[in-house]
Amino acid sequence: MRWRSPPLPLLLLLPLLTPLVEGAKKSEFRICAFNLQKFNSAKASNSRVMHTLTRILSRCDISLLQEVMDPQGKAIKSLLAALNRETDRYENYTYKSLTSKSLGNDPEDMQQYVFIYKTETVSVLGQHQYQKKQSFVREPFAVEFQSPKTAIKKFILIPLHTDPKKVVKEIDQLYDVFMEVSKKWNNTNVMFLGDFHAGCAYMTRHDKKKIRLFKTMFSWLITDRVDTTVTEDTSCAFDRIVVHGQSFLKGIGPFSAKVFNYGAEFKLSHARVREISDSYPVEVKLKNSALLLQATPLLILLSVSAIVQSFLSAL
Ligand SMILES: *[C@@H]1O[C@H](CO)[C@@H](O)[C@H](O)[C@H]1NC(C)=O
Ligand SMILES: *[C@@H]1O[C@H](CO)[C@@H](O)[C@H](O)[C@H]1NC(C)=O
């Protein structure tokens, strides 16, 4: 066999690949979950904290915030104002929020789940506060979203910030929430996310047998080996992202689920990092709906070039 140089059509295609990859990057869709550790008006009045927070959250199309203690809505209002102001300079996104009621058993420790999302890329179809008494300390506040940008058009996010004393029971009961909301909205594209305390002493390997979310139809995208805690002394995968079903899994960017170390990313001191939270956000990317369409002409060209190549070698 004689050595043949790569067929000309393939070489001509290479410059076409770069903008395709760039375009895909720009249009990626990111979902994030962040335990903000007592996010209240006092924290929101710290401009350093707010500046870093806007940098973190503006990376995400949807952010789920936990441990928000803002019954009057003042802290979230100023966070939204900062986000909408900050990004004016670079982009044209308008952020909105959707807040649950204050949840908990202790009047001193009532917390809200807050979703912040870009109105240009995603919209809210519905919301549902899980009600079953005695089930959770902070019952999940499920929201159904729709995005024209993503391969999965409609999906449901179910947040949970577990009570550290009831971790295994609460994670297990997410299965009941799944049954309720997937039926309510006729949609099994469900993602669970938040600070589950799903690691170290709170949830051991042995406990997994007792948790229905470890059945095969659920995929734990943030694995046990990940460290979502800020402190050097611990390495625990407390914050998690779990999806239901094969079709949702196929709509997720491969290996895109990760922890976002904003300290390392923005070169902040440990003290500055701790000012914001004791945990890092976790995130995942959804595949773009347009990617397949963009790729189709390319695939046709590649096949044509392969045919031409075999034709030439037959000569
Ligand atoms: C944002 O919108 C303004 C006014 O519509 C426009 O002039 C500007 O170019 C836009 N910026 C970007 C980055 O798209
Ligand atoms: C539920 O969704 C499926 C497709 O996902 C559809 O075929 C079916 O008709 C829907 N059922 C109802 C009651 O809307």
Blockwise average pLDDT, block size 10, the chain, 315 residues: 57 58 68 98 96 95 98 97 76 92 96 97 98 92 97 97 97 98 98 97 95 96 96 94 97 96 97 96 94 59 70 70
Name the closest ligand to CA 26.
Answer: 1
Instruction: Show me where the domains of the chain are located.
Output: 29-310
pLDDT at 6: 57
- Centre of ligand 2 from the C-alpha of residue 153, in Å: 14
- Centre of ligand 1 from the C-alpha of residue 86, in Å: 14
pLDDT at 89: 60
Whole-angstrom CA distances from 95 to 52, 61, 78, 124 are 16, 9, 12, 12
Of ligand 1's atoms, which has the minimum distance to the CA of residue 91?
A: 13
Nearest to 238 by CA among 136, 151, 309, 167: 167
Cα atoms found within 13 Å of the Cα of residue 186, Cβ hemisphere only = 0
- The CA-CA-CA angle for residues 195, 250, 140, to 5°, reads 30
Of ligand 1's atoms, which has the minimum distance to the CA of residue 90?
A: 13
Of ligand 1's atoms, which has the minimum distance to the CA of residue 88?
A: 1
**Which amino acid is located at 127 in the chain?**
Q
**Residue nearest ligand 1's atom 2 by CA:** 92
Name the closest ligand to CA 93.
Answer: 1
Burial class from Cβ neighbours inside 10 Å (0-12, 13-18, 19+) for residue 112 reads: buried
Name the closest ligand to CA 87.
Answer: 1
Mutate to test the pocket of ligand 1, among 26, 90, 92 (most ligand atoms within 8 A of CB): 92
Q: What are the residues facing 129 on neighbouring strands?
A: 141
pLDDT at 205: 92
**Residue nearest ligand 1's atom 6 by CA:** 92
- Centre of ligand 2 from the C-alpha of residue 186, in Å: 6
- Centre of ligand 1 from the C-alpha of residue 63, in Å: 24
- Centre of ligand 2 from the C-alpha of residue 155, in Å: 14
Residues 6+ apart with CB under 8 A from 101: 112, 129
Give residue ranges with CB within 6 A of ligand 1.
91-92
Strands 62-68 vs 29-39: parallel, antiparallel or unpaired: parallel
Fold annotation for 29-310: Deoxyribonuclease I; Chain A (3.60.10)
- Centre of ligand 1 from the C-alpha of residue 94, in Å: 12
Of ligand 1's atoms, which has the minimum distance to the CA of residue 92?
A: 1
**Residue nearest ligand 1's atom 3 by CA:** 92
**Residue nearest ligand 1's atom 5 by CA:** 92
- Centre of ligand 1 from the C-alpha of residue 20, in Å: 23
